[in-house]
Structure 1
Amino acid sequence: MGKPLFRGFYKGLSLLLYLLSLPFLLFLITKPKYRRSIPARFFLFKNPRIKECDVWIHACSLGEVKSLEPLMRELRGERVLLSVITATGLDEAKRLYPWARVTFLPFEPFLGFWAPRCKSLVVVEAELWFSLFESAKKKGAKTMLLNARISDRSYPRYLRFRFFYERLFEWVDELFAQREEDRERLLALGAKEVSVKGNLKLLSTPVPKQLLPKPPKPLIVAASTHEGEEEMILEAVASLSYPFYLAIVPRHPERFDSVWKLLERWSARENRSIIRRSQQSQWWSAEVTLVDSMGELIDLYAIAEGVILGGAFVPVGGHNPLEPAYFGCKILSGIHIHNQFALFENIEGYYLMEPRELLEYLERLPALPRSFVKGEMGPKPLLDAILHYKKECEIDGKSL
């Protein structure tokens, strides 16, 4: 299929999928999780076109938005547009970067006319939207994929659609991969200019928002947990031989209520005390705290003895281990870390296990060595690529 024919087919297919999904989208708007994002992304409600910017950065959700902090500090003097997919990502972006223009990314059929004229487009990780790169490139931007990775698990699926990625990468000028293995996979999919720059998250040093009181007993943080993991963790801690505090921080806010109901049943059965953070301002007044508030995970890492890192005891792919490692927490994780291999490679002192082994490791927790981050990278190569237009102006002798 030729390039013009492919573009026409892809755009037609995107529009058809959009039209067919309208009834489902209208239903999803009733869900709190999607109440803001769907109207903005699929109906452009309160999402007007921005005509021009210097740097357009696109990041999917909260984790990617947070990882941008070191780069965004350096870009503060530029006109930056930051687009996101999720409502939690939007809220975090507005909190961290109030000086930038922050908005939801429209669905692909709208991008042809919505995309602003910019000098650089920077897309973070696996947000491989064909129309995003094509629209920016056609309007004169240098296009980059930052922090690119392809996990062992997803690579076979990428290969099945190699014909699509070959055409997508024709619109990407430069790719920065996390590892050499990612670089090789991207080249196999048709990418051209790929270099290994490490993981963007290694640029960030997490800083607590507030200093929480140190608990009188060891604190275990169950971080970014998913369905099925809270029950497994509660079953394990119920048999611990030493006193402890447990803070459970579900990954998705829409699960707060269901996790609280689980805690109520567990508390009645095990005769253990529980509290809900949103209803109790004082920390450590119960053995188990449901942290049903946003933005407190880093504060908890700073005083934790150990962290049970969620998303890996069920086949989600794991979550960022760098943040707890910066604070020397002892990291316990499941084996399903296929989305986080590159980050775990930069850490010493973590422990992977099956769910049935969790209690054994928790019993040994006080004696386990603390984790630490062993790798680092600097932002200059990435900044040089993003701010290429300044260097070009200097070469041309133009005034900035």
Structure 2
Amino acid sequence: MKPFTLLYFILSVVLYLVALPLLVYLSFKQKYKESIPARFFLFNNPRFKSGNGVWFHVCSLGEARALKPILELLNDYEIKITTITHTGQAEAKRYNAEVRYLPYEMFLQFWVKKQDVLVVLEAEFWYMLFSVMRAKGTRIILLNARISEKSVKKYLQFAWFYEKLLSNVEVIYAQSEADKNRFIALGAKNIEVIGNIKLAGKISKTKDYKKPNAELIVAGSTHEGEEESVLKSFVEYKKQSDAKLAVVPRHPERFEAVYELMKKYAAKSSLTLSRFSQDKEFKADMVLVDVMGELNNIYAISDIVILGGAFREDVGGHNPLEPAHFGCKIITGKHFFHQKELFRYVHHVQYVEPDEIHKALMASKELPPSMVEEKIDLKPVVERIIKNPNLPL
């Protein structure tokens, strides 16, 4: 092990010991009860069975979902996937692949096996993962790589570190020219701009629901603090329009808290409220969608989407391609830095502050539906992945 890598490993062990009480505590939280034991204690998280094939590492739900068109082109190859979050894990398990959680860095030297190719999505820059896999002779590719405008200064402060990390990478497929320039500033080599691979994904619904006889507004992928702004705006909008509201929280562990908040607003405004899990309909004035995997099905019958994740400064927005595909009129916040490249391809979006949502709802009556322009060709990426003649079928 190289001196710097050894020092980094020792530091990771020290940080692990310091954080151990917190990790044990968080293991009992609903949100982390699967991911933290798997990642930090290797509970139910064995090594991959074989030491060859294509290994994809993603963080969460969106990145796991973005793999679909690539995996379809690699249908005959042995595929492995690691994730960070439990939502990403659930999505990855839909594929014909070995799926694991990525262990904490100090375990990687003993846990990983050499693979033919490691493909890492977006900004999952783990030093031990890169250095250990490269030392084992694994080719490393960064796909859909990005460095957000908000975080670039932090990266540049440690440019010497990221130059070491990125020196292990064979090629970087960046989302945009801006991302390419940021990687160059970090000392990276061999960078190609291909756009966002999420543009290649096939967007479809899995079920048909009955559209209500009223305008349907969906607050999709909302986070704490965003629902209240949406509910205030909807109550005002409801006074002037025949509309119904469906709220779809991003994280399932928040379903109960959001339902209690909706109950408060329903009671104050004499509006009816229901849970989607109970009747799968939109008869009530407000509906909490307390099930997973239904967002596209609901977008398909919606008129307006208030897209969450961008009304707070710390989230960075969510994927606008899905509501745009179904022709919904999109309202979102101004903090969409993680999705900036995707929003570049989506037209007719209103970007507003939380207290401007009601105004945006009123303006939607005169605006055209959102639409997506541009596609991406994944064939060059797949050709690079499978260029190794020893890659097993």
TM-score by length of 2: 0.96
Q: What does residue range 219-234 of structure 1 map to in structure 2 within 5 Å?
A: 219-234=216-231
Which one of the candidate residues 159, 172, 180 is aligned to 2:177?
180
Superposed CA deviations along residues 317-368 of structure 1, whole A, max 9, x for unmatched, are 1111111111111110111111111001111111111222211110122321
Partner of 1:137: 134
Whole-Å separation in 1 of the counterparts to 2:252 and 2:75: 30
Q: 2:190 matched to 1:213?
A: no
Q: Secondary structure at the match of 2:263?
A: helix
Which one of the candidate residues 25, 33, 36 is aligned to 1:35?
33
Q: Supply the AA of the counterpart residue of 1:266.
A: Y
Partner of 2:352: 353
Partner of 2:312: 314
- Contact 1:53–1:81 at 8 Å: present in 2 too? no
Q: Supply the AA of the counterpart residue of 2:231.
A: L
- Contact 2:54–2:80 at 8 Å: present in 1 too? yes
Cα deviation, residue 292, structure 1: 1.0
Whole-Å separation in 1 of the counterparts to 2:387 and 2:113: 18
Partner of 1:170: 167
Cα deviation, residue 53, structure 1: 2.8
Q: Secondary structure at the match of 1:140?
A: coil
Q: 1:79 to 1:282 in 2, by over 3 A?
A: closer
Whole-Å separation in 1 of the counterparts to 2:287 and 2:387: 48
Which one of the candidate residues 44, 47, 72 is aligned to 1:46?
44
- Contact 1:205–1:326 at 8 Å: present in 2 too? no
Gaps of 5+ in 2: none
Whole-Å separation in 1 of the counterparts to 2:107 and 2:192: 31
Whole-Å separation in 2 of the counterparts to 1:63 and 1:258: 24
Q: Supply the AA of the counterpart residue of 1:107.
A: Y
Which one of the candidate residues 280, 283, 292 is aligned to 2:290?
292
Cα deviation, residue 169, structure 1: 0.6
Whole-Å separation in 2 of the counterparts to 1:166 and 1:156: 15
Partner of 2:116: 119
Partner of 1:238: 235
- Contact 1:318–1:337 at 8 Å: present in 2 too? yes
Superposed CA deviations along residues 188-210 of structure 1, whole A, max 9, x for unmatched, are 01111111010010011211010
Q: 2:191 matched to 1:194?
A: yes
- Contact 2:5–2:128 at 8 Å: present in 1 too? no
Partner of 2:201: 204
Percent of matched pairs sharing the same residue: 46
Q: What does residue range 34-113 of structure 1 map to in structure 2 within 5 Å?
A: 34-50=32-48, 51-95=50-94, 97=95, 99-113=96-110
Q: Supply the AA of the counterpart residue of 1:66.
A: R
Whole-Å separation in 1 of the counterparts to 2:311 and 2:283: 28
Aligned length: 389
Q: Supply the AA of the counterpart residue of 1:270.
A: S
Q: Supply the AA of the counterpart residue of 1:343.
A: L
- Contact 1:83–1:104 at 8 Å: present in 2 too? yes
Q: Supply the AA of the counterpart residue of 1:37.
A: S
Partner of 1:396: none
Q: Supply the AA of the counterpart residue of 1:19.
A: L
User: What RMSD, in angstroms, separates the aligned Cα atoms of the two structures?
Assistant: 1.4
- Contact 2:200–2:378 at 8 Å: present in 1 too? yes
- Contact 1:53–1:80 at 8 Å: present in 2 too? no
Superposed CA deviations along residues 116-170 of structure 1, whole A, max 9, x for unmatched, are 2211000010100011111221222110111011111111111111121011011
Q: Supply the AA of the counterpart residue of 2:53.
A: D
TM-score by length of 1: 0.95
Q: Supply the AA of the counterpart residue of 2:340.
A: F
Cα deviation, residue 173, structure 1: 1.1
Which one of the candidate residues 126, 146, 149 is aligned to 2:143?
146
Whole-Å separation in 2 of the counterparts to 1:161 and 1:54: 33
Whole-Å separation in 1 of the counterparts to 2:280 and 2:349: 31
Q: Secondary structure at the match of 1:77?
A: coil
Cα deviation, residue 288, structure 1: 0.7
Q: Supply the AA of the counterpart residue of 1:291.
A: V
Cα deviation, residue 46, structure 1: 1.5
- Contact 2:247–2:289 at 8 Å: present in 1 too? yes
Whole-Å separation in 2 of the counterparts to 1:140 and 1:4: 15
Partner of 1:274: 273
Whole-Å separation in 2 of the counterparts to 1:52 and 1:247: 46
- Contact 1:347–1:375 at 8 Å: present in 2 too? no
Q: Supply the AA of the counterpart residue of 2:151.
A: S
Q: Secondary structure at the match of 1:339?
A: helix
Q: Supply the AA of the counterpart residue of 1:33.
A: K
Q: Secondary structure at the match of 2:219?
A: strand
Superposed CA deviations along residues 47-70 of structure 1, whole A, max 9, x for unmatched, are 112241310000011111001110
- Contact 1:165–1:189 at 8 Å: present in 2 too? yes
